[in-house]
A and B are shown apart, each in its own frame.
Chain A
Amino acid sequence: MLEEHAKIVQFITLAGEVTGRKKLQKMVYIAKKMNFPFQEKYQFHMYGPYSEELTLRVEELCNMAFLSEKKEDKGSYVQYTYSCTEEGSQFLSTMEGNHPKLDLCIERLNNKSSRFLEMVSTLLYFDHLERAEQVEKLHVVKGKLNFTETEIEEAFAFIKDLQLCIQA
């Protein structure tokens, strides 16, 4: 009954630690696009695909003390880091569910910056379009971020690698 909560606790447990709310949003979105069964609904927002449901779920899990949220003042902004608590591990042990290859996916995502994941998730949001149209859309909605050709190439290569590693 709390399976969706458990999936997020498991996700963060596998990641060890996730730094940045935006990064966590994008990581779960990309994992979802790689067909891992996350139920949170996403819509397009300021930073690309964003799930209000995931924000809520994470807040609930912090309130339940299954996740720990560490706040760090970076001067002009606050950064949040998420990790699983002892209580969270106990909760997870009462739940079933293990998704092969999810750990590999999470490891690759967690090694990337949130700017890079923002680009990848935006490209994936438009993956029903042809590649040239995807790039054009990226420039329209993320014009201010000035993604370079090289970065975009890297993002497409990353998506392909990720798909291959999950299928392997």
Chain B
Amino acid sequence: MVSYATQKLAEEKVFKDPVHRYIHVRDQVIWDLIGAREFQRLRRIKQLGTTYLVFHGAEHSRFNHSLGVYEVVRRIIDDIFTGRPEWDESERLVVLCAALLHDLGHGPFSHSFEHVFDLDHEKFTQAILLGDTEVNAILKRVAPEFPQHVSDVIAKTYGNKQAVSLISSQIDADRMDYLQRDAYFTGVSYGHFDMERILRVMRPREDQVVIKQSGMHAVEDYIMSRYQMYWQVYFHPVSRSAEVILTKALHRAKELSENGYKFAYEPRHFKTFFDRTFSLADYIALDEGIVMTYFQEWVHEEDEILADLCDRFVNRRLFQYIEFDPAKDYRKLSELEQLFKKAGINPAYYLVFDSSSDLPYDFYRPGEEGERVPIHLLMPNDELRELSRSSEIVEAISGKRRTDHKLYFPEDLLKDDTKKKAVKKQILQLLYGQA
């Protein structure tokens, strides 16, 4: 009798995909997981959060991305690794499931939501995999310990590091999918690289996946794509402005709830998050449609701050920003906070410092205290060589972090001179340095 772990569909199923053309499913387990309600929920969570307010095409979901990561891993192991002695075929299913389910615990507008409610989507991924869920029931049919194994691969605590590195490393299926997918949906011209070439030169080694030296230039292109996508798309200052407003609106709702405010539109879905009594079912019940419904309703709340912040988010009336160097200007920040209070604008909600930072590629040499496993090239003599030792392009950006600091504020309120004109003028002078 064929076990559930090896059971194949009578006919291969395919999903049409704009990035990988087709996503191929032969395994019954994968097909069943895609149909599970917790996986279907990912259709209702956007991959790029608030980025759609800048790049209007960026409405794609975590469902699209998860299928994409699964497909990239499937191609690596079924087309490239299969039959190679360094690859353990018995790890195939656990890695495919981990690839498909790695983002399962993301909530609506994850970054803001997790920040306000002190949550961690990785913990929710584990809770969904191991809790009373449809996904868990499917994984348990493979073997009782199988859900834990999938969870361990995603949490990077699995014994087989090679399996982990397919999903979490400096050149993994997750990044290869999201760079291309996000480039496609935002419409930017960065983010493209020759993935087919990279996949063809990937080789399994003891506790990692390495790249044949002949594929070095394709990897250089991938690293540069990543660098550009971070600065052109992921850290775009305007989508950060939207995120700042979203975060502050959630903070305001939380504060109001804690102070016994009577909402005209009761935050039924958030109550257990406000008082930290939420269950896994409460978390799974949330999606971005629900958050947007509350925001649209809260535009009419009596509390002026909540109503204004929700209106700003729903109708894209975003905060303005300036470059801000905290080292030089931290005293100015205290001064601004005081002036905002004098102007009757609550700085806790309307004056926000925000930083973005990225390290495009980090190397590690034995004995150093680096935390990232580097990309290794497989040389013709079978030795391994860390990428930045061979690539001048990569060496130039290795270990170099770029950070961007911005200060966000509602310029429209400050330019409204019907009230507190003098103090607002003083604020604008401090912000823009004008006379």
Contacts and interface: CB of A to CB of B under 8 A. Distances in A.
A63 B401 CA distance: 11
Interface in A60-89: 60, 63-66, 74, 76-80
Of residues B157, B334, B355, B371, which shows the largest number of chain A Cβ atoms within 10 Å of its Cβ? Answer: B371
Given A59-B403, A76-B366, A94-B331, A45 B353 contact: no
A1 interface: yes
A29 interface: no
B355 A60 contact: yes
A45 B337 CA distance: 38
A60 B403 contact: yes
A65 B373 CA distance: 29
Contact of A22 (B120, B334, B337, B369): B369
A21 B369 contact: yes
A106 B196 CA distance: 50
A47 interface: yes
Majority-rule SS of A interface residues: mixed
Contacts of B83: none
A45 B333 contact: no
B327 interface: yes
B367 interface: yes
A5 B337 CA distance: 17
Given A2-B353, A41-B120, A56-B357, A65 B327 contact: yes
Interface in A17-35: 20-22, 25
Nearest to A22: B369
Contacts of A59: 357, 401, 403
Nearest to B403: A60
Of residues A47, A65, A77, A126, which shows the largest number of chain B Cβ atoms within 10 Å of its Cβ? Answer: A77
B156 interface: yes
B289 interface: no
A65 B159 CA distance: 41
A44 B326 contact: no
B330 A2 contact: yes
A43 interface: yes
A22 B122 CA distance: 22
A143 B368 CA distance: 19
Interface string B310-343: 0000000000000000110011011001000000
A64 B327 contact: yes
B333 A2 contact: yes
A46 B373 contact: yes
Nearest to B365: A77
Given A91-B330, A94-B331, A140 B367 contact: no
B157 A66 contact: no
Contact of B326 (A60, A126, A143): A60
A2 B326 contact: yes
B422 to A, nearest CB: 24
A140 B369 contact: no
Task: Give the 3 A-B residue pairs with the shortest CB-CB distance, closest first.
Answer: A64-B327, A77-B367, A76-B367
Interface of A: 1-2, 5, 20-22, 25, 41, 43-47, 50, 55-56, 59-60, 63-66, 74, 76-80, 91, 94, 126, 137, 140-141, 143
15 contacts: A1-B351, A5-B326, A41-B120, A45-B372, A46-B373, A56-B355, A56-B403, A59-B401, A65-B327, A74-B367, A80-B369, A91-B330, A94-B334, A126-B157, A141-B157
